[in-house]
Structure 1
Amino acid sequence: MFPIRDHNPSGRTPYVTYALMAINVVVFLSYVGLFADDRALNRFFFDYAAIPARILSGDGFSTLVTSMFLHGGWLHLGGNMLFLYIFGDNVEDEMGHAPFLGFYLATGVAASAIHILSAPGSVVPVVGASGAIAGVMGAYLLLFPKARIDILLILIIIFRIFPIPAWIMLALWFGMQFIGGVGSDPNAGGVAYWAHAGGFVAGVILTVPLWLRLGGPAFWRRTDGHPPHPQARYASSRIPKVRR
């Protein structure tokens, strides 16, 4: 079960979201050939991925940013870009282009910091835009908790698309990250659950000033948690179509 689109059209072109997606793709293509050479790939990740033990020793602080634009494979990249495409445009629309870029980078750094605190002695390189995108999802939850998200459900041979409120999908996602973090060893590699959870919480916190400027609880009462504009409508289909 994963989201394929929302019913929340953006009021202006999300240039920063598109630029971030393009940068992530271009950066991945620039080193994808290294996956055939483990030694070269490990050296590349040592230079540009975030390694908790190295950062806490006082070295490699720039990797807190560079690691946000690296990915561990095609599925990792594709999944992150799908989530950024679905949720990024609306958050950018509300924040503005430059503030959204600063917000994205800040939540990405915060996510890496939370992971480092959870695994201070780890020498496993951490890569991915997931922490920053989790921050975008946290902002989306605060601003549009009842926006409709189309979910693609796959049960062996059954493919079904159905809409659910954003708060349900995002709460389930956050719960999975929290449970995953509690039940895993962050020093052992794999999914950086605490980075995801930390980025999400950072996104909510950093969006509070904007939410208050919009009216805070009065904004929710005025919109009932829905986007403050007509929702997008899609033709009924069993085949997912991602359109604006």
Structure 2
Amino acid sequence: MIPLRDTVRSRNTPIVTFIIIAINIFVFAYQSMMPREIVAEMIFNYGFIPVRFIDNLFNPFAYIPLFTNIFIHGSLIHLLGNMWSLWIFGDNVEDRMGPIRFTLFYLLTGVIATTFHMLSDLSSYVPVIGASGAIAGVMGAYFLMFKNSRVLTIIPFFPFFFPIPAQIFLIIWFLTQVSSGISSGLAGSLSQNIAWWAHIFGFLGGVFLHKIFLRRNYTNRRSIF
């Protein structure tokens, strides 16, 4: 199922969501213009590598990739899929949190996602990149914050649109991640192209932590905190 849009309209302009999408597009555009060896070096330096992090726990610079990895993508499809999901779910979550709280929430769930991916394979030398863990956190928050929302979806190869309750859509998505994570673990392929456990724990981070970041008074008036 491919989500097209949700039925909840935000009251305020999602400034941070726009900025995050713009940064990701800018970084990918920069990657696209650079030679392959420069891109490889960029991913090595700013992607998150579990073994490198563990070997440098007391080096402050080792923590930088925990944040920078969520702004780097490996392909156009990777970028578009993540940014589309952020666009659908991020504006409403930002609306309820406010720009500053939403920024902190997004970065925190991204770090949680990356950390749990690391714990799934401490010996991995494969760089982790992509915003999907942080976006999974946004989806986890949306799951509990907008219980009456629906997501208009389309099934590939079938020209039909289905309005599905958002909670059902997100449960299906989450169970798919869990199933894939378990399957990859049983197959002994934890160091793979898709960080399933980052998605799973990013989502759970959003579920359990989102209330901390909600604005005290949600009104029509714009607020940044």
TM-score, with structure 2 as normaliser: 0.89
Structure 2: which 5+ residue stretches go unaligned?
221-225
Q: CA RMSD in A?
A: 2.0
Deviation, 1:43, is 1.8
1:186 and 1:8 map into 2 onto residues whose CA distance is 39
- Partner SS state of residue 4, structure 1: strand
Matched positions, count:
212
Shift >2 Å, 4+ stretches: 39-42, 185-188, 208-214
AA partner of residue 2 (structure 2): F
1:97 to 85, 96, 99: 99
Alignment of 1:129-208 (within 5 A): 129-155=131-157, 158-184=158-184, 185=188, 187-208=190-211
> In the alignment, what sits opposite 2:128?
126
Kept after mapping to 1: 8 A contact 2:97/2:214: no
Residues 1:114 and 2:112 aligned together: no
Deviation, 1:61, is 1.4
Structure 1: which 5+ residue stretches go unaligned?
215-228, 230-244
AA partner of residue 144 (structure 1): F
Q: Deviations over 1:7-57 (max 9, x none)?
A: 1000010000001000110011111234x62x4332221101001111111
Q: Percent identity?
A: 44
> In the alignment, what sits opposite 1:25?
25
Residues 1:76 and 2:78 aligned together: yes
Residues 1:54 and 2:52 aligned together: yes
Kept after mapping to 1: 8 A contact 2:102/2:213: no
> In the alignment, what sits opposite 2:11?
11
Deviation, 1:213, is 6.5
Q: Deviations over 1:38-82 (max 9, x none)?
A: x43322211010011111111521000000000010000000000
Moved more, 145-154 or 182-191: 182-191
